[in-house]
């Protein structure tokens, strides 16, 4: 079966009307659908990881953030490789192979989540393999850029990237739904502690009983529980009882503090402690779920799309060796475009990976704490939708103005998160505003993602092969967003209990990136108006 097209002239109106348009839109349709599954696979771990503690996996908070971050590290590395694949192997081979190789993380994670004794290092390897899905972008988008004429590049790239990004929302939205659907393997018991009910339980228990139960816990567990109590509360109780004895401190804490502290430790351990007080405590919630469904659900879809890609895709006859493609790195605009795209897509992907865990660890200790997966999918959904919508607008008004608009939006949103204490909260009353601001940031990143990919083909209009390479390279660097964001936010929360320092850093970076975009591509008389 022939792989390479004999010729490709999208700027030739006659060729486009007779032959090119049909092939281009067919290719866009197939690669966009496969890209949805790519993003779904890439962000699979971010949806699964929040459930692991409740299933009995003995991983720390830092380890959970590492699992959420690892797909981003892998995707960044693999996108660098993908940047150079298209001119060597062509669209057909790259898309088919990339689709089928994602069977590795889907099958591997599907089996791993069924066994709470699965070592952390195994999950780290599997989390890395989900990066196969993140790497695809640096081949798929350059491919689309080559298939379409200049007047439609913003529209086509916006459609592909925007709809492809829906894969993040798909995995975070559908995961809670399919967890109740039986697939291969038995159900797992998901355990959680209802903080509000735990408060009521402790209110009805005497100090003497509390002292007896807490005295039976080992020193490490006592220390762990106390570490989840605000220091000023511990100090106040210590002065009141005139003692620093851990057991007495634990027994003398306010019921609310006791409930929040035990709800914050590992669910299985927390449930055991609550059962020691009251075997029938309504605070202990247990539910059967089929966690493996979160991975196995994608298996038949990947196989089907791999077959379709091989049968119906062709490759544009634009070829170059690896050495020839390195010429993009001698152009200063490659690096400026990299910075602006890190601001747009890096922020989108990074926050998409960290959003569920931010909800869990910033607001999860409060009474009536929210389910992270009930909110997490909205961010990627909004960011993806705005990317599709503004892809059309970018073709009309240009991409640079949209990128500037994004920088200002991310900047203002980050300032609000810090100044209003939304990423170092003191109550659940702050949660609605936190979600609203986060969703606004997601919206702006989608706008910027549409803008940047309209800009790049214009900035490098003298060489479309280079334009495709820059699209791939910038996407590769930005793909490190989930790794960088998840690790830094996780470390920030672990060290301070909030994420203020991280978002202050994001404020500074947004200022720099927006300034670069405005100076070189947006202001009157700029070097590369786009």
Inform me whether the pLDDT recorded for 401 exceeds 90: yes
Inform me whether the pLDDT recorded for 368 exceeds 80: no
Work out the average pLDDT over 438-444: 96
What is the spatial distance between Cα 175 and Cα 482, in angstroms, rounded to a whole number? 19
Inform me whether the pLDDT recorded for 153 exceeds 90: no
Output phi, psi for 287, to 5 deg.
Answer: -140, 135
Q: pLDDT class for 206, splitting at 50, 70, 90?
A: confident
What does the pLDDT look like over 15-24, one tens digit per residue?
Answer: 999 999 999 9
Q: Any idea what the Cα angle at residue 408 is, between residues 361 and 492, rounded to 5°?
A: 25
Residue 264, helix vs strand vs coil: coil
Task: Write the burial class of residue 121 (CB in 10 Å: 0-12 exposed, 13-18 middle, 19+ buried).
Answer: exposed
**pLDDT number for residue 244:** 87
**pLDDT number for residue 33:** 93
- C-alpha distances (whole Å) from 126 to each of 119, 201, 422 are 11, 40, 33
The token pair at 403 is: 């990128």
Q: Are 394 and 454 in contact, with CB atoms under 8 Å apart?
A: yes
Inform me whether the pLDDT recorded for 432 exceeds 90: yes
Inform me whether the pLDDT recorded for 430 exceeds 70: yes
What does the pLDDT look like over 26-58, one tens digit per residue?
Answer: 999 999 999 999 989 988 888 898 889 889 898
Task: Name the average pLDDT for the chain.
Answer: 89
Beta strands in 434-505 (DSSP E): none
Contacts of 152 (CB under 8 A, 6+ apart): 395
**pLDDT number for residue 459:** 92
Work out the average pLDDT over 266-285: 86
Which secondary-structure segment (H or E) carries 190?
Answer: strand 188-193
DSSP string covering 312-376 = H--B-S----HHHHGGGGGSHHHHHHHHHHIIIIIHHHHHHHHHHHHHHHHHTTSTTPPPHHHHT
Which DSSP category does 498 fall into? S
- Give me the half-sphere count of Cα atoms (radius 13 Å) on the Cβ side of residue 428: 12
What does the pLDDT look like over 173-199, one tens digit per residue?
Answer: 888 888 888 878 888 888 888 888 888
Ordered domains of the chain (ranges, CATH) = 13-186+291-522 (1.20.1250.20), 189-287 (no CATH)
Q: pLDDT class for 1, splitting at 50, 70, 90?
A: low
DSSP string covering 77-122 = HHHHHHTTTHHHHHHHHHHHHHHHHTHHHHHHHHHHTT-TT--HHH
What does the pLDDT look like over 488-529, one tens digit per residue?
Answer: 998 899 888 899 999 999 999 999 999 999 999 999 999 999
């Amino acid at each position: 079966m022939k792989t390479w097209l004999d010729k490709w002239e999208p700027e030739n109106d006659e060729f486009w009307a007779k032959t090119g348009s049909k092939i281009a839109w067919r290719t866009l349709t197939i690669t966009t659908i496969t890209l949805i599954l790519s993003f779904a696979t890439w962000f699979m771990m971010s949806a699964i990881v929040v459930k692991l503690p409740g299933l009995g996996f003995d991983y720390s908070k830092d380890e959970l953030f590492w699992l959420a971050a690892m797909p981003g590290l892998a995707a960044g590395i693999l996108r660098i490789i993908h940047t150079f694949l298209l001119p060597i192997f062509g669209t057909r081979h790259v898309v088919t192979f990339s689709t089928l190789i994602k069977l590795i993380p889907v099958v591997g994670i599907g089996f791993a989540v069924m066994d709470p004794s699965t070592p952390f290092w195994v999950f780290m390897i599997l989390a890395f393999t989900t990066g196969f899905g993140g790497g695809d972008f640096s081949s798929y988008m350059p491919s689309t850029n080559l298939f379409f004429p200049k007047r439609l590049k913003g529209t086509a790239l916006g459609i592909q990237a925007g709809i492809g990004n829906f894969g993040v929302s798909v995995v975070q939205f559908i995961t809670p739904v399919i967890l109740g659907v039986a697939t291969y393997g038995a159900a797992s018991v998901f355990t959680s502690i209802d903080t509000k009910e735990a408060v009521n339980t402790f209110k009805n228990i005497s100090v003497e009983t509390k002292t007896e139960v807490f005295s039976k816990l080992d020193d490490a567990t006592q220390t762990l529980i106390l570490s989840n109590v605000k220091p000023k509360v511990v100090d106040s109780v210590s002065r009141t009882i005139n003692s620093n004895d851990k057991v007495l401190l634990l027994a003398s804490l306010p019921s609310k503090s006791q409930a929040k502290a035990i709800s914050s430790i590992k669910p299985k351990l927390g449930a055991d402690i609550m059962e020691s007080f009251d075997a029938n405590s309504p605070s202990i919630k247990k539910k059967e779920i089929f966690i493996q469904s979160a991975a196995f659900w994608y298996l038949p879809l990947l196989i089907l799309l791999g077959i379709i890609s091989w049968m119906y895709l062709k490759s544009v006859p634009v070829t170059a060796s690896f050495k020839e493609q390195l010429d993009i790195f001698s152009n200063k605009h490659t690096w400026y475009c990299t910075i602006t795209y890190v601001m747009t897509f890096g922020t989108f992907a990074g926050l998409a990976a960290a959003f569920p865990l931010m909800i869990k660890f910033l607001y999860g200790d409060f009474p009536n704490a929210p389910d992270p997966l009930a909110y997490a999918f909205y961010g990627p959904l909004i960011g993806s939708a705005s990317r599709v919508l503004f892809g059309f607008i970018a073709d009309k008004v240009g991409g640079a103005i949209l990128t500037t608009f994004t920088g200002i939006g991310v900047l203002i949103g980050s300032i609000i998160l810090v100044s209003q204490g939304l990423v170092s909260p003191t109550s659940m009353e702050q949660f609605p505003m936190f979600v609203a601001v986060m969703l606004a940031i997601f919206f702006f990143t989608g706008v910027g993602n549409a803008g940047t990919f309209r800009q790049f083909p214009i900035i490098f209009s003298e060489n479309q092969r280079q334009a495709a390479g820059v699209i791939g390279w910038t996407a590769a660097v930005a793909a490190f967003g989930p790794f960088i964001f998840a690790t830094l936010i996780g470390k920030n929360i672990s060290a301070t209990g909030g994420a203020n320092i991280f978002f202050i850093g994001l404020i500074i970076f947004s200022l720099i990136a927006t300034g670069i975009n405005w100076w070189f591509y947006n202001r009157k008389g700029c070097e590369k108006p786009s």
